[in-house]
Amino acid sequence: MMNQNEQTHTNMHTGAVSPQMNHGAHEVLDVHEVLSGAVGTMNEYMMLRSHVKDQELLDILDRQYQFMQQEYNTTLDCFQSGQDPAVPTQSYKMQQDNDFIYGLTPTQPKKPMQSTSEINDAFVSGAMLGAVKSTASMKTMAALESTNPVVRRVLADSIPNCIEMAYELSIYQNKHHYYQVPQFAQQDMQQIMQSYAPATGTPGNMSAH
């Protein structure tokens, strides 16, 4: 039986590792954060659910929770096996339209709550949005550090789902005036939009200056 040093030496020279151990150190730590974050997000959704009053928000919460659960199981499967998961990554489809209301209207200043009785749909949807945006960042970092090709692909494919969930929640918040979207004056916006020109040429035929 080889000792640990001999095993490490063999792996460094042959690259032969079992699928279950086909992970780099950074990958293991970052995927650990992703899985832990997913558990935390689902637990947060579970706790927030009893405070939801709007049926539309309740539907969003339940659909997102169910999707997160399957995506968590898919990520866990490929992370533990090092191989293709039994259930591949799915695509989350929001049921909102994508119309934003632009501009600011006067609202009451926000301040910390004094009791849990103040928890409302604005707070719940905001907490959900924050959790999903955080998940997108963690998955992106983990995908960039992954050496296992299956884990990297599963993480990368799941990032658009986080973006879609966050977009769905931001549209919901915007529609109910919880999240307002200011705009630049049209002239300023146009100037910024027109401040770039298309790129041309290829590296091989560019002249040195």
3-state secondary structure 123-187: HHHHHHHHHHHHHHHHHHHHHHHCCCHHHHHHHHHHHHHHHHHHHHHHHHHHHCCCCCECCCCHH
Beta carbons within 10 angstroms of residue 128's beta carbon = 26
Q: What is the pTM of this model?
A: 0.85
Domains of the chain: 21-99+114-195 (1.20.1260.10)
The two tokens of residue 10 are: 């063999």
Distance set, CA 41 to CA 35, 46, 67 (Å): 10, 9, 12
Cα distance between residue 170 and residue 65, in whole Å: 17
Cα distance between residue 65 and residue 169, in whole Å: 13
For residue 108, give the DSSP letter.
P
Q: What is the pLDDT of residue 200?
A: 87
Nearest to 71 by CA among 110, 41, 50, 103: 41
Beta carbons within 10 angstroms of residue 162's beta carbon = 23
pLDDT (tens, 9 = 90+) of the chain, 209 residues, equals 445 444 444 455 455 666 667 788 989 999 999 999 999 999 999 999 999 999 999 999 999 999 999 999 999 999 999 999 999 999 999 987 888 999 998 888 889 999 999 999 999 999 999 999 999 999 999 999 999 999 999 999 999 999 999 999 999 999 999 999 999 999 999 999 999 999 988 887 776 65
Q: What is the pLDDT of residue 201?
A: 82
- The DSSP H or E segment spanning 64 is helix 55-81
